[in-house]
Chain A
Amino acid sequence: MTTEHDLWRSLLADMIRIRVFEERCAELYGESKIRGFLHLYIGEEAIASGVMSCLEPTDAVLATYREHGHALLRGVSAESIMCEMFGKATGCSGGRGGSMHLFDRATRFFGGNAIVGGHLPVAVGLGLADQMLGRSGAVTVCFFGEGAVAEGEFHEAMNLASLWNVPVLFCCENNRYAMGTSLRSSESQIDLALKAASYAIPAWSVDGMDVAEVHRATTKALASIRADGGPMFIEFQTYRFRAHSMFDPDLYRDPAEVEHWKQRDPIVTFGERLLRDGIVTDDDIEQMWSSARDETESAVVAADAAPLEPVDTLLDHVVRDMPEPDAGGAKPDDHGNDDGNDHGNDDDDEVWP
């Protein structure tokens, strides 16, 4: 049993954790326990699993509104994510964000961003802060869908990232459809890595249905960014098995196409590989599913029981109070709790704001 085998097993278990969690979310949506928009990542789990397994606590992560899996594997607890989706006070965003806006300061998880492309410039700024403050080796990882490449903010962010040589890994999750609009019908150039490369960013495309491939590509990119500082871009070719959101009747995809991709289910295919290579047993895999179900069910039980945020806190967190004039000496301290209801962990504020 080698370390590498442990890694493969944990990648499989990670994908299963996301799958089980989200399948349960879909049920809970049907029961009206979860409301608003709910965008499922089912089919795309290899990307979050492969990338997250390469990150350090000092890295920063920004994701889209399809981010339950990213948050979960970044270390945000299933319970606090589920509580957030239930709109509860104990949710990772205090019930203010919901499914699309999961945030967690302790794990440097900067959302949960639901303006397509809007978080790419923010990622550049986080990278710039790491660069200017001399936090050598830290990387900001920014996930976005292929729909974002049509936005001006994608192009502005690519240009700035390259111009300023900031340590950002851009992870494009190309699931081929921006809601119901196919890439082919909306982009004049569908080679997405080429778009990034046109900004002088090293860029390439990998099979996003193969978690080992995702892990390898990410490892390589991160090693380069940590050493040299500059940005990189990886396009992960993937597919979502479910509709865009729970509101989407999925009229725009050929069922045969969906079925074709389902044959490449990243959990099934990777599990079969590990079985074939003798790295896992059927019992191991069953144990992974069982453990993921336990994790999810505990989260559901906790979310059901969790309290709602009192309505009299409605106006909390709109603006933070000014720091006391003398707090923190000459430099303003902006990290104080604004009302004692801060969900974050301020322990790392000295170095990691």
Chain B
Amino acid sequence: MSTDRLAGDTSTDMAVMTYREAMREAIREALATDDRVFVMGEDVADYGGTYAVTKGLYEEFGRDRVRNTPLSESGFVGAGIGAALGGLRPIVEIMTVNFSLLALDQLVNTAATLLHMSGGQFNVPLVVRTTTGAGRQLAAQHSHSLEGWFAHVPGLKVVAPATPEDARWMLPTALADPNPVIIFEHATLYNDRGPVDPRLGPVDLERAAVRRTGTDVTVIASAGMVSKALAAADILAASEVSAEVIDLRSLRPLDFDTLAASVARTNRALVVDEGWRTGGLNAEIAAGLTERCFWSLDAPVARLASAEVPIPYAKHLETAAIPQVDDIVAAALDLVGGR
């Protein structure tokens, strides 16, 4: 398991590809190397996937292994659980996180509980991929960030790749995991290009990654918020504020060791979350850091989250609803203002 690459070392022989291509390559490799693996979901075959992640795979691997499903989220997620119990390694694509709510019963009542309810006898090696997040003017039934809900549930593992390299190398680890793993892909990232080490191999799924080192404030983000936090850090540097940016990568379990180690050095923490504030994952992180780092904090842990509103359609309203680079800059400056 490669962990030495989490800091974003971009040394030799790096390929450059989009997040979408990276995910597709990961799926292609899994299909080619393990005949237990198959993909299923709405429009994953002829259509190529709503976000074109599985484009071309059905032609290469056939309809059985790149399997279209009817619009039955609960049905095909449940079938994925059964297939996993039966010895296959399904990769189930749910078009968006909003639609995953139609499969919440299977994910929370069955996938997450079977190992425990059966006293350790039946594990569910299921991988679910779904998209999350706003930014494409898809309004209130296609834009929410509900990954924090899933991160609430014992028995699930929840990850959110923020880089093409994680999009490429999280999947094989998820497939090797004996537990249900939900991969949240942010809808605005698919066209992002970035370096991917083609020989990296499966990466750790439980550790956060320091994407930029800094000394004044720790900015904690995930998925679509990571690139915004990095852009904010560039702007903050011009104001002589050194921001450390941490990509959570794993939303369950949370890597508090990495977070607390950073905050112990910077003494300030800003949690940036595309989910809502009330009862959000941001609240869990803020509380956890306060418990662990209280005596080294120079200011209360700050939070930036989406406005408490269903995500609106109009571009300016959507932009206003979710944390933006300027918001992160302002919140970080506010946090270090008393220095």
Give A residues with C-beta under 8 Å from B.
60, 91-97, 101, 103-105, 110-113, 115, 118-130, 132-133, 140, 152-153, 156-157, 159-160, 163, 316-323, 325, 330-332, 334, 337-339, 341-344, 352-353
A132 in contact with B88 (CB, 8 Å): yes
Interface of A is mostly: loop
- Which chain A positions have C-beta within 8 A of B190? none
Report the minimum CB–CB distance from A107 to chain B (whole Å).
11
- Name the contact of A129 in the complex, choosing from B69, B82, B116 (C-beta under 8 A): B82
Shortest Cβ distance from A102 into B: residue: B118
Known: A118-B105, A153-B78, A323-B176. A125 touches B84 (CB 8 A): yes
- Asked if B139 is at the interface (CB within 8 A of a chain A CB), the reply is no
Report the minimum CB–CB distance from A352 to chain B (whole Å).
8
How many residues from B make CB contacts under 8 Å with A? 48
- Asked if B177 is at the interface (CB within 8 A of a chain A CB), the reply is yes
- Which chain A positions have C-beta within 8 A of B109? 115, 118
B179 in contact with A127 (CB, 8 Å): no
B179 in contact with A320 (CB, 8 Å): yes
B176 in contact with A122 (CB, 8 Å): no
Per the 8 Å Cβ criterion, residues 81-132 of B in contact with A are 81-88, 90, 105-106, 109-110, 114-123, 125
B105 in contact with A101 (CB, 8 Å): no
- Asked if B296 is at the interface (CB within 8 A of a chain A CB), the reply is no
- Asked if B1 is at the interface (CB within 8 A of a chain A CB), the reply is yes
- Asked if B49 is at the interface (CB within 8 A of a chain A CB), the reply is no
Scoring B78, B80, B114, B123 by chain A CB atoms within 10 A of each residue's CB, the highest score goes to B78
Report the minimum CB–CB distance from A199 to chain B (whole Å).
11
B122 in contact with A105 (CB, 8 Å): yes
Shortest Cβ distance from A342 into B: residue: B120
- Name the contact of A343 in the complex, choosing from B70, B81, B85, B119 (C-beta under 8 A): B119
Complex Cα gap A339–B119 (Å) = 11
- Which chain A positions have C-beta within 8 A of B83? 125-126, 128-129, 132
- Name the contact of A318 in the complex, choosing from B34, B87, B155 (C-beta under 8 A): B155
A317 in contact with B116 (CB, 8 Å): yes
Ordered by A's residue number, 15 sampled pairs between the chains whose C-beta atoms are within 8 Å are A96-B117, A97-B118, A105-B122, A121-B74, A122-B82, A125-B90, A127-B82, A153-B75, A156-B74, A159-B70, A332-B175, A332-B177, A342-B121, A343-B121, A353-B87
Known: A126-B83, A133-B87. A115 touches B105 (CB 8 A): yes
- Asked if B198 is at the interface (CB within 8 A of a chain A CB), the reply is no
The interface bits of chain B over 51-89 (1 if a CB of A lies within 8 angstroms of the residue's CB, else 0) are 000000000000010000110101111111111111110
Report the minimum CB–CB distance from A201 to chain B (whole Å).
14
- Which chain A positions have C-beta within 8 A of B117? 93, 96-97, 101, 103, 111-112
A121 in contact with B155 (CB, 8 Å): no
B38 in contact with A132 (CB, 8 Å): yes
Give B residues with C-beta under 8 Å from A.
1, 33-34, 36, 38, 64, 69-70, 72, 74-88, 90, 105-106, 109-110, 114-123, 125, 154-155, 157, 175-179
- Which chain A positions have C-beta within 8 A of B122? 103, 105, 110
- Which chain A positions have C-beta within 8 A of B119? 91-97, 103, 317, 341, 343
Known: A152-B74, A319-B115, A339-B120. A332 touches B176 (CB 8 A): yes
- Which chain B positions have C-beta within 8 A of A352? 87
B86 in contact with A129 (CB, 8 Å): yes
B78 in contact with A121 (CB, 8 Å): yes
Shortest Cβ distance from B74 into A: residue: A153
Complex Cα gap A121–B78 (Å) = 5
Known: A103-B121, A115-B109, A342-B120. A122 touches B75 (CB 8 A): no
